[in-house]
């Protein structure tokens, strides 16, 4: 039986992490695209250059870019269907819902009732507890914890080791800094940091 095939869009550091996920899942990478023409190889795989919508349209595509705003821009132009991948060491409850293009990395946990939008990235050992709601293009960085019932708006970044306490909301394109403890709602586009998290500045990507 032939292994399942997948295409990658992106050839930087995040793409290298995804290669290990795909290897663990038994995928064969059928092609790698990257708009940075100086990137010629991803590991042993040759990078073909800019995205080509007509190449192997039957093979699903995975956006191999960590930056939330870039993932959104690529998703808007791509014409392939999108793959959703879960590392075998991750725990994703059968009662969770994952949108197209979402990636769950090594030893991450997504609990029952959680609903994740499209192209969400739940990074290494991050935890998304029961009944959380994550918008499209959200990133939960390594070791971050979302307690039960947290809502995270489109494009927001919860940085490494941050904690959002139960039932608190984080707005669209907001940034929660590394190690922050969020105890009250974070507005759209706000950058917060500290324990407890406090407002630092306004993110220009909020709208």
Q: Which residues are catalytic?
A: 130
Annotated binding site for substrate: 66
Q: Known binding site: residues?
A: 66
Are the beta carbons of 116 and 110 closer than 8 angstroms? yes
Q: Three-state SS across the chain?
A: CCCCEEEEECCCHHHHHHHHHHHHHCCEEEEEECCCCCCCEECCEECCCCCCCCCCCCCCEEECCCCHHHHHHHHHHCCCCECCEECCCCEECCCCEECCCCEECCCCEECCCCEECCCCEECCCCEECCCCEECCCCEECCCCEECCCCEECCCCEECCCCEECCCCEECCCCEECCCCEECCCECCCEEEECCCCEEEEECCCCC
């Amino acid at each position: 039986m032939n292994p399942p095939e997948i295409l990658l869009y992106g050839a930087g550091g995040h793409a290298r992490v995804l290669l290990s996920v795909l290897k663990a899942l038994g995928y064969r990478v059928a092609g790698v695209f990257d708009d940075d023409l100086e990137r010629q190889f991803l590991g042993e795989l040759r990078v073909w250059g800019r995205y080509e919508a007509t190449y192997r349209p039957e093979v699903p595509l995975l956006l191999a870019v960590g930056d939330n705003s870039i993932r959104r821009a690529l998703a808007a132009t791509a014409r392939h269907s999108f793959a959703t991948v879960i590392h075998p060491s991750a725990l994703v409850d059968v009662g969770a819902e994952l949108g197209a293009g979402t990636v769950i990395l090594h030893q991450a946990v997504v609990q029952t009732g959680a609903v994740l939008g499209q192209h969400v990235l739940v990074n290494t050992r991050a935890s998304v507890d029961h009944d959380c709601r994550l918008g499209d293009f959200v990133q939960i960085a390594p070791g971050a914890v979302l307690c039960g019932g947290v809502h995270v708006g489109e494009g927001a970044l919860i940085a490494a080791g941050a904690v959002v306490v139960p039932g608190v909301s984080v707005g669209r394109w907001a940034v929660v800094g590394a190690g922050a403890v969020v105890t009250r709602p974070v507005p759209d586009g706000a950058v917060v940091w500290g324990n407890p998290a406090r407002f630092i500045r306004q993110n220009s990507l909020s709208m």
